[in-house]
Amino acid sequence: MAPNITSAPTNVLYQNGIDESSSVNKEPQVKYQLRIVWFNVSAFIALHVGAMYGLYRVFTSAKLVTILFAYVLYVCSGLGITAGAHRLWSHRSWKANFPLRCILMIFNTIAFQNSIYEWSRDHRVHHKYSETNADPHNATRGFFFAHVGWLLCKKHPDVKNKGKGVDMSDLLRDPIVVFQRRHYLTLMPIIAFVVPTCIPVWFWGETWVNAFFIPTVLRYVFTLNMTWLVNSAAHLFGGKPYDRFMNPAENLAVAVGALGEGWHNYHHVFPWDYKAAELGNYRFNFTTAFIDFFAKIGWAHDLKRVSPEIIEQRVKRTGDGTHEVWGWGDKD
Ligand code: ST9
Ligand code: ZN
Ligand code: ZN
């Protein structure tokens, strides 16, 4: 049974996660002082202001096709995170052939959420040490830290120390992951910023300003926030039908915005399920529909899932009694 850790320390001064006042621990400690990275703070403020300006131009001067293009980029880049970095590369919950992995790598690069390797390393550490100091976006430090604060400061030393022990060798054997990591600083600006800005101008005569602020800046900031809500809102609000002793929760609103990644209580209990949710029928889980489509045409295989019996046992043993509400009483 996992401990309830909602009361873990939330102050900024830690000693590798051990309380300074502890008389039991006499080991020399490395002090952790919160170190804000002002470059990131400025960059994220500028991006969010730019996104607001983009939103204003959506309602005042943008062409409809530009808005549709921004939406398509949100879905594609989102899939590069959900189907790609998350379910495929971090969790190995399904397998993709070479062309599909190439497509997912390109989609993932549009999202600019760091390389697949770095994203997956942080995510594996997040699952293994969830809601401790070693969790990069430890939600016990509050909504803001889990949402974006963790990207605005140096990581807690526990993240790096404990993260060293996480096996990443499988990703280093995937030439697509290695290629993206090696060339990230060239690929990312072109694929995430330059191409999405040029396409609307060259293909349908959009203005440079709209092309930059809508499908590029606004789309990027929107997709980032949808992703971050999984770490913040879905770690704080929602039912816990599978395990009431952990904080990750089932959150419908997050599932809608994050293409099916809001069913976070289920996902933390059964991280190897390619659906990242119990429910089938693609309700609020577009990513599952995407993977199933590629399975149908033979590009995806080895889709892992959890048997209804195992789920039922777990629901009875550790659930909070809301399974009927979240399961809506059916199975696929
Ligand atoms: C972004 C990522 O937004 C968002 C991730 C969200 C995850 C969500 C998960 C939820 C489930 C899935 C839902 C998907 C939903 C999608 C919906 C879509 C519609 N283990 O990091 P550094 C070591 S990114 C082991 O620089 P600092 C390692 O040696 C946004 N070791 O730490 C490393 O060197 P190297 C754009 C680790 O200096 C070294 O430490 N990107 C680990 O403390 C230094 O690493 C940005 O804004 C580990 N986990 O700096 C960039 N971590 O890499 C933001 C580190 O060479 N990041 N090490 O091996 C930064 O600027 C910095 O990382 C920092 C920390 C300032 C935050
Ligand atoms: Zn989580
Ligand atoms: Zn995960």
Query: DSSP readout, 249-267?
Result: -B-HHHHHHTTS--BHHHH
Tokens of 267: 């996902």
CA distance 279 to 123: 23
Tokens of 241: 């039908």
CA distance 69 to 196: 9
Q: Identify the pLDDT of residue 32.
A: 85
On the CB side of 126, CA atoms within 13 Å amount to 26
Does residue 313 contact residue 302 with C-beta atoms inside 8 Å?
no
Q: How far is the CA of 23 from the centre of ligand 1 (A)?
A: 34
Q: Identify the pLDDT of residue 9.
A: 33
What is the best residue among 151, 161, 291 to mutate for testing ligand 1's pocket, by most ligand atoms within 8 Å of CB?
151
Q: How far is the CA of 158 from the centre of ligand 2 (A)?
A: 17
Measured from the Cα of 257, ligand 1's closest atom is 19
Does residue 155 contact residue 162 with C-beta atoms inside 8 Å?
no
Interior CA angle at 42 toward 261 and 35, to 5°? 85
Pocket of ligand 1 (CB under 6 A): 37, 40, 78, 81-82, 86, 112-114, 118-119, 121-123, 125, 136, 151, 154-155, 159-160, 163-164, 223-224, 226-227, 230-231, 258-259, 261
Does residue 239 contact residue 311 with C-beta atoms inside 8 Å?
no
- Residue 126 C-alpha from the chain's centroid: 11
Residues 6+ apart with CB under 8 A from 214: 54, 57, 58, 62, 66, 67, 70, 200
CA distance 84 to 79: 6
Contacts 24+ apart (CB under 8 A), 301-308: 301/94, 301/95, 302/94, 302/95, 303/93, 303/94, 303/274, 304/93, 304/94, 304/272, 304/273, 304/274, 305/273, 305/274, 305/275, 306/270, 306/272, 306/273, 306/278
Q: How far is the CA of 1 from the centre of ligand 2 (A)?
A: 18
CA distance 280 to 272: 16
Q: How far is the CA of 116 from the centre of ligand 3 (A)?
A: 13
Q: Identify the pLDDT of residue 31.
A: 73
Q: Identify the pLDDT of residue 325.
A: 79
Ligand 1, atom 40: nearest CA belongs to which residue? 160
CA distance 235 to 232: 5
Q: How far is the CA of 88 from the centre of ligand 1 (A)?
A: 18
| For the CA of 130, the nearest ligand | 2
Sites in the chain below the pLDDT cut of 70: 1-30, 280-282, 327-332
Measured from the Cα of 112, ligand 1's closest atom is 36
Q: How far is the CA of 186 from the centre of ligand 2 (A)?
A: 30
- Residue 157 C-alpha from the chain's centroid: 22
CA distance 153 to 12: 11
What is the best residue among 42, 75, 93, 114 to mutate for testing ligand 1's pocket, by most ligand atoms within 8 Å of CB?
114
Measured from the Cα of 75, ligand 1's closest atom is 19
Q: How far is the CA of 162 from the centre of ligand 1 (A)?
A: 14
Interior CA angle at 186 toward 181 and 192, to 5°? 90
Interstrand relation of 14-15 and 31-32 (parallel, antiparallel or unpaired): antiparallel
Residue 205 CB coordination number (10 Å): 10
Closest CA to 93 of 298, 217, 275: 275
Among all chains, which residue has been given the structure tokens 């910023």? 193
Among all chains, which residue has been given the structure tokens 């809601």? 131
Q: Identify the pLDDT of residue 216.
A: 98
CA distance 193 to 255: 26
Measured from the Cα of 124, ligand 1's closest atom is 49
Ligand 1, atom 49: nearest CA belongs to which residue? 122
Does residue 116 contact residue 84 with C-beta atoms inside 8 Å?
yes
Per residue in 274-291, pLDDT (tens digit) is 999 997 546 789 999 999
Among all chains, which residue has been given the structure tokens 């039908």? 241
Does residue 304 contact residue 93 with C-beta atoms inside 8 Å?
yes
Amino acid identity for residue 40 in this structure: N
